[in-house]
């Protein structure tokens, strides 16, 4: 049993709580009654619990609440952050949460509470399966409680940052789950700032050495260019926010750049941000061919814009943000800035700042357009011109408000593999006109397994869009295809199913569902399935047979009548027939000849290697006796 929280630890937690209230008060009125009740409840319920690293458990909900406050969330979201683990880990019910803290807090806590594998309804299930159901529940809940994502992300950010000493496989699994479930969920709501936060955390855990090299290299670049960065900030603020005696336009070029400029009142904010390590790593990917040898060499200001500048205008601004910025560009490009005396350096006396647009691009996560600008010292920046609503949107997406009409709904949730719910999909139609939604890249075989496991295992070929030609099972589907699958499955009499699945079918499927069904089948029938060899049959084409099969076995694999009337076989280009017990090798071309006059002999039992062939021979001889 974990030791209870100590008095010193209580005081430390209380101090962190006070800091939380102060942080909230910087952007709204703190509901101290609600928040104090939430904090006291969390403290009481978690007082005997500790994190795996030994810290009092209360530190975790406090940090999640701080994360939500950093995102400028309201009192109810922050209260729910403080309470987000009390139902999952302690003896309190959702009903009690609702009666004490209100329905909004209750619904937020409910949305982020994982299912409890110890409950009677789940006790027969594996923990991994219960975790999958928790993911399904989260995806379903978010459309009704979008702001719960702030709590979930805050929870994951703190957990990802608190994994020191954990086995590497668990660390990678947690990062992978973040990339498979949380980040795609954030993409659907376009909350790109939260995506960048999580991507950077995952990058750190999965690629620790590269992360630290980039982070340290970036810090050195920022430190060595701190003066030019400060000057650029001062310079831009001087241009846009008023006159400054240290900024001027030289007389000889003044007429060409002065004129009617838009009023600075339309500017909401000009903000400089340091960049996320994950974002920088994407910039460097096409700059090197060997990450181990070249990474330190490519971390230069030539390759990395050091800061992101968000140039944000008010909604009422008559110009687009980009046009507004460009109207000032001649001055920004031609003006002169004289630094303060304590920063003065003879080398930079009366330097023309020459803020220059050197390119443009789009961010690989947000897809937002930016202007690539450079100061006189070669320091690069990404400048994003945006209206204030666009700025809020790209940071928070459509989860900023509780009832945003743009909030998307994940229309089809894959309950076996929730991560597949975020894949791009196509629609195809079955023989009876029923529509099926499939991930892009799916094959006919994937569709067969989606219809039913035995439709997949017994599938032979398909016809597409009403054409008579037989289409191979590995053919990729396209949007709008009408698919008629031919199979040897018999739903009324399953004992008559003829399985055609081979190990090679793993190469033909793309969906997790199909892969899982193939795995289950071969795990169950591993002794029967054996290894397979690919050969080519004249007049038929490629076929897989069980390794060790004789040409007699091959004849029976082509059909009972072919086997019973087997005459001889030819291998590759040989003009002479091979022995009946010849075992074809991988890639051999086999030509089987039959003769209705030929009948099986008892000696064939010795030649046949496959149990099913021997069973056919038994049936034949028993019938002959009758």
In whole angstroms, what is the distance from residue 386 CA to residue 57 CA? 41
From 9, 14, 89, 96, active-site residue: 89
Average pLDDT of the segment spanning 79-84: 94
Most confident by average pLDDT, 29-38, 247-256, 264-273, 472-481: 29-38
> Which residue ranges form the domains of the chain, and what is each CATH number?
7-206 (1.10.3210.10), 209-399 (no CATH), 424-524 (3.10.20.30), 531-625 (3.10.20.30)
256 falls in which pLDDT band (50, 70, 90)?
A: very low
How far is Cα 95 from Cα 106, in angstroms, rounded to an integer?
8
Three-point CA angle 284, 287, 289, nearest 5°: 110
- Reported confidence tier of residue 248, pLDDT bands at 50, 70, 90: low
Residue 411 pLDDT more than 60?
no
Catalytic residue check, 88: yes
- Among 444, 453, 531, residue whose Cα is nearest residue 481: 444
* Annotation says 96 is catalytic: no
pLDDT over 90 (residue 14): yes
Cβ atoms within 10 A of the Cβ of 347, count?
6
> What is the spatial distance between Cα 445 and Cα 485, in angstroms, rounded to a whole number?
9
pTM over 0.85: no
Residue-wise pLDDT tens digits, 536-567: 888 888 888 887 889 999 999 998 999 999 99
pLDDT in tens, 44-68: 999 888 888 889 999 999 999 999 9
**Whole-number Å distance between alpha carbons of 319 and 322:** 8
**Mean predicted confidence (pLDDT) in 178-182:** 83
Per-residue pLDDT at 127 exceeds 60: no
| CA angle 303–378–216, rounded 5-degree value | 50
Q: State the pLDDT at residue 191.
A: 82
Other CB atoms within 10 A of residue 125 CB: 14
Mean pLDDT, rounded, of the chain: 82
> For residue 579, what pLDDT band results from cuts at 50, 70 and 90?
very high
Q: What is the pLDDT of residue 252?
A: 47
3-state secondary structure (DSSP) of residue 523 = helix
Q: Is the pLDDT assigned to residue 171 strictly greater than 80? A: yes
Q: Which of 9, 31, 88, 129 is catalytic?
A: 88
Q: At what angle do helices 32-46 and 75-83 cross, to 10 degrees?
A: 10
Q: Mean of the pLDDT values across residues 570-577?
A: 89
Half-sphere exposure of 9 (CA within 13 A, CB side): 17
Point out the least confidently predicted range of 85-99, 321-335, 466-480, 514-528.
Answer: 514-528
């Amino acid at each position: 049993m974990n030791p209870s929280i100590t008095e010193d630890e209580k005081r430390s937690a209380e101090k962190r709580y006070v800091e939380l209230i102060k942080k909230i008060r910087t952007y709204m009125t703190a509901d101290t009654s609600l928040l104090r009740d939430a904090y006291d409840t969390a403290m009481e319920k978690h007082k005997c619990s500790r994190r795996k690293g030994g810290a009092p458990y209360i530190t975790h909900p406090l940090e999640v609440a701080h994360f939500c406050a950093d995102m400028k969330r309201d009192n109810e979201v922050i209260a729910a952050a403080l309470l987000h683990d009390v139902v999952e880990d302690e003896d309190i019910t959702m009903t009690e949460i609702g009666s004490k803290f209100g329905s909004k807090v209750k619904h937020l806590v409910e949305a982020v509470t994982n299912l409890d594998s110890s409950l009677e309804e789940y006790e027969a299930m594996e923990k991994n399966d219960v975790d999958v159901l928790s993911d399904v529940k989260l995806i379903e809940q978010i459309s009704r409680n979008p702001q719960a994502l702030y709590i979930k992300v805050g929870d994951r950010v703190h957990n990802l940052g608190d994994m020191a000493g954990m086995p590497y496989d668990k660390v990678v699994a947690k990062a992978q789950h973040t990339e498979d479930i949380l980040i795609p969920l954030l993409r659907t709501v376009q909350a790109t700032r939260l995506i960048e936060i999580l991507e950077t955390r995952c990058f750190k855990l999965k690629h620790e050495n590269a992360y630290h090299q980039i982070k340290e290299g970036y810090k050195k670049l920022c430190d060595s260019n701190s003066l030019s960065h400060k000057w650029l900030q001062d310079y831009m603020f001087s241009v846009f926010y008023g006159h400054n005696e240290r900024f001027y336009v030289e007389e000889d070029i003044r007429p060409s750049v002065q004129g009617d400029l838009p009023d600075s009142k339309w500017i909401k904010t000009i903000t400089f941000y340091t960049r996320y390590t994950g974002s920088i790593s994407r910039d460097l990917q096409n700059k090197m061919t060997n990450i181990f040898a070249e990474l330190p060499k490519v971390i230069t200001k030539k390759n990395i814009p050091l800061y992101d500048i968000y140039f944000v205008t008010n909604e009422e601004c008559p110009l687009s943000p980009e046009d507004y910025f460009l109207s000032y560009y001649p001055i920004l490009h031609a003006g002169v800035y004289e630094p303060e005396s304590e920063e003065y350096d003879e080398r930079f006396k009366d330097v023309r700042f020459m803020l220059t647009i050197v390119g443009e691009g789009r961010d690989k996560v947000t897809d937002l357009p930016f202007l690539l600008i450079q100061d006189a010292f070669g320091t690069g920046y990404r400048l994003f011109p945006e209206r204030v609503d666009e700025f809020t949107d790209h940071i928070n997406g459509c989860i900023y408000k509780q009832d945003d009409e743009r909030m998307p709904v994940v229309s089809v949730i894959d309950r076996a593999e929730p991560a597949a719910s975020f894949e791009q999909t196509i629609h195809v139609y079955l023989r009876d006109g029923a529509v099926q939604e499939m991930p892009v890249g799916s094959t006919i075989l994937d569709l067969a397994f989606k219809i039913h496991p035995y439709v997949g295992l017994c599938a032979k070929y398909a016809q597409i869009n009403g054409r008579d030609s037989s289409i191979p099972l590995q053919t990729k589907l396209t949007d709008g295809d009408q698919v008629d699958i031919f199979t040897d499955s018999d739903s009324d009499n399953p004992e008559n199913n003829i399985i055609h699945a081979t190990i090679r079918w793993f190469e033909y499927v793309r969906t997790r569902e199909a892969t899982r069904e193939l795995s289950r089948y071969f795990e169950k029938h591993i002794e029967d399935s054996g290894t397979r060899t690919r050969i080519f049959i004249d007049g038929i084409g490629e076929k897989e047979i069980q390794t060790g099969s004789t040409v007699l076995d091959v004849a029976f694999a082509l059909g009972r009548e072919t086997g019973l009337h087997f005459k001889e076989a030819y291998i590759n280009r040989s003009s002479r027939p091979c022995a009946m017990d010849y075992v074809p090798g991988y890639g051999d071309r086999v030509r089987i000849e039959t003769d209705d006059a030929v009948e099986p002999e008892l000696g064939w039992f010795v030649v046949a290697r496959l149990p099913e062939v021997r069973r056919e021979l038994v049936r034949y001889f028993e019938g002959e006796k009758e």
